[in-house]
Amino acid sequence: MKALFEENSYGSELLNKYENKELSDAQFLKAFGQSDIFYSTPFGDTVGGQQALFLVRKSDGPLYHPVFTSLENAKTYFNKAGRAGFLIMSKTFLDFVKDTLNIYENAPEKVGVIIEPGVFGITLDPEVLDAVIKMMQS
């Protein structure tokens, strides 16, 4: 039985292969879609006690929900971001992208996904999430 919050070395391996151009976009997404990722809620408290949005904005572009291939990477990221008392959850990347699309469907600002910000930083823009889901399911 797989341990709860076990590091996803398969996901890390896929990211490395993708970065080294050993996998096409479609190959990467199909395989990574079945990988377990780690994430937290978009809102939370800062170390200073303020409420904050812990999504990533690239320049003046869209917001991205960060996901990670290990519990440690998620903890490190949120600690560096000054987040206090956060909960880390896990699910397959495909399920996470589906949920993200559904949650932000009627939101005033759409949200994409960023994989391993600060390490790989692969972004999936909000307008391509439907196509990404189809690629992962094919």
Strand duo 111-115 + 63-67: pairing: parallel
Dihedral sign computed on CA atoms, order 41, 103, 117, 137? positive
Q: Which residue has the tokens 């096409």?
A: 24
Confidence of residue 6 (pLDDT cuts 50, 70, 90): low
Residues 6+ apart with CB under 8 A from 90: 4, 5, 36, 37, 38, 39, 71
Structural domains of the chain, ranges and CATH numbers in brackets: 9-137 (3.40.1350.90)
Q: How many Cα atoms sit within 13 Å of 34 on the Cβ side? A: 7
Please write the tens of the pLDDT for every residue from 79-128: 999 999 899 999 999 999 999 999 998 999 999 999 999 899 899 999 99
Q: Report the C-alpha gap between 126 and 120 in whole angstroms.
A: 18
pLDDT at 113: 97
The one-letter amino acid at 26: A
The pTM for the full model equals 0.90
